Amino acid sequence: MNIGEASRASGVSAKMIRYYEQIGLIRPSGRSENNYRVYGQSDVHVLRFIRRARSLGFSLEETEKLLALWQDRARESAAVKEVAVAHIADLERRIAEMQGMVQTLKHLAHCCSGDGRPDCPILEDLAEHTPPPAAPQRGSH
């Protein structure tokens, strides 16, 4: 099948397929006599694996590691679990950070009267936590 057909069958855009080939995540496809990329069912299966891993938030590096483990029939499941558990910890950390952002913004929005006056605790908070502009250095133009 050509790249468009592989894209439709896998749910991965043709642009991403080319990118995954470029960065070495997947092996470059074979070429037909007229130099079109040619993909088989095994390629589509790999692309679906990658799409699912990415949909679960795995980074490209983690996806590459999982793909290598998936293709290694002698792997130990402990190695796969290690990648998944590390990813869970990262997701939980990011969720906690986002929950903190939500709470801060809720508080700031609650404190803002939202009326016609220019006073705004949201902007004041943003300005408080912004470093002042650097002073021009002597001798620089």
In this predicted model, what pLDDT tens digit does every residue of 37-78 receive, in sequence order?
899 999 999 999 999 999 999 999 999 999 999 999 999 999
pLDDT of 18 reads 94
What is d(CA 83, CA 62) in angstroms, rounded to the nearest whole number? Answer: 7
Domain segments of the chain as ranges: 1-58, 76-130
Bridge-based pairing state of the strands 37-38 and 30-31: antiparallel
In this predicted model, what pLDDT tens digit does every residue of 108-137 receive, in sequence order?
999 998 888 888 999 999 998 877 777 767
DSSP 40: -
Nearest to 109 by CA among 96, 124, 97: 124
Q: Global pTM?
A: 0.78
What CATH class does 1-58 carry? mainly alpha
What is d(CA 76, CA 70) in angstroms, rounded to the nearest whole number? Answer: 10
| 61: amino acid identity, one letter | E
The residue count for the chain: 141
